[in-house]
Amino acid sequence: MSDLETLKSDFEAAIQAAADNEALEAVRLDALGKKGRISEQLKQLGQLPPEDRKQAGQALNILKDQIAEAIAARAKTLGAEAMNKKLAEEQIDISLPIAQQAQGFAHPLSRTIEEITAIFSDMGFVIAEGPDIETDYYNFTALNIPPEHPARQEHDTFYLMPDEAGQRPVLRTHTSPVQVRTMQKMKPPIRLIVPGRTYRSDHDATHSPMFHQCEGLVIGENIHMGHLKGCLIDFCRAFFGVDDLPVRFRPSFFPFTEPSAEVDIGCSRSDGGLKIGAGDDWLEILGSGMVNPRVLENCGYDPEQVQGFAFGMGIERLAMLKYGIPDLRTFYDSDMRWLRHYGFVSADMAALHTGLGGE
């Protein structure tokens, strides 16, 4: 028995002395491994006289359990010690300056498109898209701009090579063809906007051969000019963030709307600066009108049953006015200094979509 007592205290001392998991594992093998000392003793039980065997066996098994328990307890302690050590060593010095990280910026145009879509989404509009390369039919004819109509010249169209049928595809000169494409596919009620690229052969400080428009289309029963006005007044005020922004509807002409109205917002100009809000001057910002019954018919609708309004705005122009960017050409120069000055950080972009009526 005294043998076992010695064995026990030897192992207990070794377990306590084990400084890490590796040392502890060595003790475990020495005691309980296949060739460990306790296992060896268990194997030798058979050589004992039968009357001693039972008692010796019991004593050995108890020792075996005690050693296993002691090893488990030591492993736990070692684990806790390792964790505490790690925590103490890994203390973070929050006063250290952070490493400089490259910061990306959203282009003012992306920002403006996000703002426009956020406002119209809150009003229940959905986003539609159409191709940049259009047929003459969708870009002009279906919109009540027949061949030889002077509006075709005004649009400074880029024509592509004729196809097999001799038809020349065009780079769409406005987003209005998407009105026709969606009306032919959908049944009223329709409430959509179409932000997208448009092309005209024109290049100066306020014109670029590629630019962006956002079309709007609302079709339903009993839609009238009052809806058009209410919708666009709300939009202008929300977009420029001026609650009492004066908005004026000025009679105009577009072949695809009748009547048509140009929309102006109030502004004042002093010392060469432009201020949007009540003032003695006006700025034109978009075209609009009631969808021409001929366009409705071209889309298979009965103008006696459904009516609607449409509008179209130049996105660069809105961005220039809102953010005081003087030259349109700089939008496409890819100059990082310009982007750092006029760009937006992504967190501010995410905050735009706050959901219905959100602040």
Q: Which residues bind ligand PHE (CB under 6 A)?
A: 174, 176, 215, 254, 257, 287-289, 310-312
How many Cα neighbours within 13 Å face the side chain of 173? 24
Nearer to ligand PHE, 41 or 292 (CB): 292
Q: Is the peptide bond before 303 cis (omega within 30 degrees of 0)?
A: no
Element (H, E) at 301: none
Q: Which is nearer to ligand PHE, 39 or 135 (CB)?
A: 135
Rounded to whole angstroms, how far apart are CA atoms 160 and 117? Answer: 31
Please, what is the minimum distance in Å from the beta carbon of residue 140 to ligand PHE? Answer: 11
Q: How do beta strands 307-314 and 281-291 pair?
A: antiparallel
* Integer Cα distance of 6 and 267 in angstroms: 99
CB of 234 to ligand PHE, least distance (A): 17
- DSSP annotation of 26 reads H
The three state secondary structure string of 328-356 is HHHHHCCCHHHHHHHCECHHHHHCCCCCC
Q: How far is the CB of 295 from ligand PHE (least distance, A)?
A: 10
| Amino acid type, 334 | S
User: Regarding beta strands 281-291 and 257-270, do their DSSP bridges make them parallel or antiparallel, or are they unpaired?
Assistant: antiparallel
Q: Which is nearer to ligand PHE, 177 or 266 (CB)?
A: 177
* C-beta of residue 311 within 8 angstroms of C-beta of residue 216: yes
Nearer to ligand PHE, 41 or 173 (CB): 173
Q: Considering beta carbons, is residue 114 or 215 the nearer one to ligand PHE? A: 215
Q: How far is the CB of 174 from ligand PHE (least distance, A)?
A: 3
- Residue 250 CB, nearest distance to ligand PHE (Å)? 13
> Min. distance of Cβ 147 from ligand PHE in angstroms?
18
Residue 165: CB minimum distance to ligand PHE, A: 26
Reduce the DSSP state of residue 251 to 3 states and report it: strand
> Smallest distance from the beta carbon of 213 to ligand PHE, in angstroms?
6
Q: How far apart are CA 49 and CA 155, in angstroms?
A: 114
Structural contact between residues 179 and 113, judged by C-beta atoms closer than 8 angstroms: no
Minimal CB distance residue for ligand PHE: 312
Residues 6 or more apart whose CB falls under 8 angstroms from that of 254 comprise 260, 287, 289
Q: Are 276 and 267 in contact (CB under 8 A)?
A: yes
Cβ distance to ligand PHE smaller for residue 108 or 287: 287
